């Protein structure tokens, strides 16, 4: 990518016109949630308040607000480069290994013969039991000496609620309704990328204090980079081979309304290159979704009934067009999300027409079109690490569906979550594919253990292992760290206060007082939060409140 640095177009400043999610489809009605909602929400703080109640205490630290006022430092000079372990990708592709996971079978149909490319990371590991450790992988050999694992890889532990470590909230309080729209860990785990309603992409370095158990000293996080787009940001993604030790690989792509696809330098925050898609009228058109191929050589962009594929090393307007509808047959609607199989040369496209399709990476041939089972347009999808299953979720849709790709069209199980708006609500899988995590409109994060699902299940509802209140407002983004037991969550949504009487009208003040909601009474929680989801060390156990109640089914 180093040879593509001169053809960028300047990124615009944040525009005032903020639009909803990239949906040209009419809003859809939210169906009623399925029955059987008997789980209680676990409370994680000492007096019944969610972890967000800890923010004033952390922000009172000497470095908390001072750090926000500092100008953005250069990303390359931060301690994350020498203190944070960078998950470097090995040059050789990994082969898919057979895993004896409960409820999952060995990949068939040539899956064992294909090379397994994991997006930005070195393959997947066998599932870990609670508290179990495994040897540190070879590509993390530069881990600092004060790392909590010290040569051991800590696994996720969801027998108890994750502990909130720090976050960023002052950054999003300067503008009204500056809610976040997701967060994504860098492939090497050194930093976090966020999107928000002010059309600014922000990069946060992982605090070096995370590597020790002195979590009480953690200040509020402050971004080291701010990259302003010209209009509403539709989608954004990291380069999968990103490694902080190699600046040429440190970049990300973003798409915004009425703008070309911009490639941003993750060290300096400048536009490194631009990809300009044009429609059949030779007009510049914006991509609604973005995703790099696992090897990073291609950039897939989603449009209405078509996918355009750009070559990463060749910026400009040259691209390969792959229509998803041929002779009125195929996948209609705007292509809203992408996912690549880690074990086969296959990618999946989700669309606002409520369906998903499987395509060949070589020429874009439609391999299978999954039936329309969602209530709303798809907004996110993920492959399991073994490539046998595909998870799909939609807007105004109460379920995440798990599809068995060895029998296309078969739903193995469903996961219930509350998504009552058209907002994109992300979900994420851990590296082993065992745990799936998702937020919802009410701010609750649910954790499902997919190994508890029967292998021959028939659309059974899988109950969550754990639920906890992460935010007061909608938890729209969640991302699991590539190799540490850390979670990042983002929250917020557009608020619509109830219509009230004008200031001059005093009639029926008492009667309508309860129905009117003032802006101060609206639960606004526009926050990026960082959580520890691994075993607690001795120092952390002393600070952890024993009143945390984990909901185990």
> Taking 50 as the threshold, does the pLDDT of residue 76 lie above it?
no
The predicted-structure confidence for 102-118, as pLDDT tens digits, reads as follows 434 433 334 433 444 44
Return the C-alpha torsion angle 449, 450, 452, 453, nearest 10: 150
- Across the chain, mean pLDDT equals 74
Alpha-carbon span 470 to 525, nearest angstrom: 10
pLDDT of residue 459: 76
Confidence of residue 537 (pLDDT cuts 50, 70, 90): low
pLDDT of residue 333: 94
> Phi, psi at residue 450, to the nearest 5°?
-70, -15
> Taking 60 as the threshold, does the pLDDT of residue 34 lie above it?
no
pLDDT of residue 494: 87
Cα–chain center distance at 276:
25
> Taking 60 as the threshold, does the pLDDT of residue 179 lie above it?
yes
Alpha-carbon span 449 to 40, nearest angstrom: 17
Beta-sheet strands, E only, within 269-409: 271-275, 289-292, 298-303, 306-311, 320-323, 325-326, 329-330, 335-340, 346-351, 356-360, 366-369, 378-383, 389-394, 399-404
Alpha-carbon span 338 to 351, nearest angstrom: 9
> Taking 50 as the threshold, does the pLDDT of residue 460 lie above it?
yes
Q: Which residues of 138-151 are buried (b: 16+ CB within 10 A; e: fewer)?
A: ebbeebeeebbbee
Confidence of residue 327 (pLDDT cuts 50, 70, 90): confident
Which of residues 396 and 511 earns the better pLDDT score? Answer: 396
Alpha-carbon span 462 to 464, nearest angstrom: 7
Nearest CA to 349 out of 365, 362, 331 is that of 331
> Taking 50 as the threshold, does the pLDDT of residue 403 lie above it?
yes
Tokens of residue 160, six digits: 């108890």
By 3-state DSSP, what share of the chain in percent is helix, strand and coil, each rounded to 5?
Answer: 10, 30, 60
Q: Which residues of 484-496 are buried (b: 16+ CB within 10 A; e: fewer)?
A: bbbbbbbbbbeee
User: Which element (helix H / strand E) includes 538?
Assistant: helix 538-543
Least confident of 298-307, 382-391, 536-545: 536-545
> Taking 90 as the threshold, does the pLDDT of residue 153 lie above it?
no
pLDDT of residue 107: 38
Confidence of residue 283 (pLDDT cuts 50, 70, 90): very high
Length of the chain (residues): 553
pLDDT of residue 287: 96
The predicted-structure confidence for 332-370, as pLDDT tens digits, reads as follows 999 999 999 999 999 999 999 999 999 999 999 999 999
User: Hey, which of 27-41, 117-131, 303-317, 509-523 has the most confident mean pLDDT?
Assistant: 303-317
Which of residues 68 and 539 earns the better pLDDT score? Answer: 539
Please compute the mean of the pLDDT values over residues 286-304 and round it to a whole number.
96
Q: Which residues of 233-247 are buried (b: 16+ CB within 10 A; e: fewer)?
A: bbbbbbbbbbbbeeb
Q: 3-state class of 340 per DSSP?
A: strand
The predicted-structure confidence for 42-73, as pLDDT tens digits, reads as follows 433 333 333 333 343 333 333 333 333 333 34
pLDDT of residue 349: 96
Give the Cβ contact number of residue 115 at 10 Å. Answer: 15
Alpha carbon distance, N-terminus to C-terminus of the chain: 48
Alpha-carbon span 208 to 210, nearest angstrom: 5
> Taking 70 as the threshold, does the pLDDT of residue 133 lie above it?
no
DSSP state of 447: E
pLDDT of residue 435: 95
Single pTM value for the model: 0.70
Q: 3-state class of 466 per DSSP?
A: strand
Please compute the mean of the pLDDT values over residues 312-340 and round it to a whole number.
94
């Amino acid at each position: 990518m180093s040879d593509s640095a001169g053809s960028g177009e300047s990124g615009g400043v944040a525009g005032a016109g903020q639009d909803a999610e990239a949906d040209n489809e009419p809003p859809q009605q939210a169906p009623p949630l399925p029955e059987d909602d008997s789980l209680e929400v676990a409370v994680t703080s000492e007096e019944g308040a969610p972890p967000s109640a800890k923010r004033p205490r952390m922000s009172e630290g000497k470095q908390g607000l001072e750090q926000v006022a500092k100008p953005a430092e250069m990303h390359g000079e931060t301690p994350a480069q020498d203190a944070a372990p960078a998950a470097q990708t090995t040059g050789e592709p990994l082969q898919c290994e057979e895993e004896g996971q409960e409820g999952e079978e060995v990949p068939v149909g040539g899956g064992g013969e294909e090379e397994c490319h994991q997006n930005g990371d070195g393959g997947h590991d066998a599932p870990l039991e609670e508290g179990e450790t495994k040897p540190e992988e070879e590509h993390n050999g530069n881990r600092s000496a004060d790392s909590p694992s010290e040569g051991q890889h800590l696994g996720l532990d969801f027998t108890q609620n994750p502990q909130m470590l720090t976050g960023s909230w002052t950054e999003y309080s300067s503008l009204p309704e500056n809610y976040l729209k997701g967060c994504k860990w860098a492939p090497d785990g050194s930093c976090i990328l966020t999107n928000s309603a002010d059309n600014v992409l922000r990069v946060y370095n992982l605090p070096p204090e995370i590597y020790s158990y002195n979590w009480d000293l953690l200040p509020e996080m402050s971004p080291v980079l701010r990259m302003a787009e010209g209009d509403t940001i539709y989608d954004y993604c990291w380069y999968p081979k990103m490694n902080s030790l190699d600046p040429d690989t440190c970049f990300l792509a973003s798409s915004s309304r009425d703008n070309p696809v911009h490639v941003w330098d993750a060290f300096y925050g400048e536009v490194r290159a631009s990809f300009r898609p044009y429609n059949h009228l030779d007009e510049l058109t914006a991509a609604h979704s973005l995703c790099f191929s696992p090897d990073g050589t291609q950039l897939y962009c989603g449009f209405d009934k078509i996918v355009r594929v750009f070559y990463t090393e060749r910026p400009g307007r040259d691209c390969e067009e792959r229509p998803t509808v041929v002779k009125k047959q195929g996948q209609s609607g705007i292509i809203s999300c992408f996912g690549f199989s880690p074990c086969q040369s296959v990618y999946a496209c989700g669309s606002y027409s409520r369906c998903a399709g499987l395509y060949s990476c070589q020429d874009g041939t439609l391999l299978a079109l999954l039936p329309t089972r969602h209530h709303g347009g798809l907004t996110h999808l993920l492959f399991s690490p073994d490539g046998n299953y595909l998870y799909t979720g939609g807007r105004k849709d109460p379920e995440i569906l798990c599809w068995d790709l060895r029998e296309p069209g078969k739903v193995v199980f469903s996961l219930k979550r509350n998504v009552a708006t058209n907002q994109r609500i992300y979900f994420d899988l851990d590296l082993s594919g065992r745990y799936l995590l998702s937020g919802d409109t009410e701010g609750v994060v649910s954790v499902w253990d997919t190994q508890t699902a029967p292998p021959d299940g028939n659309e059974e509802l899988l109950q969550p292992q754990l639920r906890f209140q992460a935010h007061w407002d909608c938890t729209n983004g969640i991302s699991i760290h590539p190799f540490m037991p850390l979670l990042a969550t983002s929250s917020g949504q557009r608020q619509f206060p109830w219509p009230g009487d004008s200031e001059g009208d005093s009639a029926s003040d008492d009667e309508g007082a309860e129905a009117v909601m003032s802006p101060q009474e609206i639960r606004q929680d526009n926050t990026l939060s960082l959580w520890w989801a691994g075993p607690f060390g001795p120092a952390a156990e002393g600070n952890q409140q024993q009143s945390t109640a984990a909901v185990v089914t």
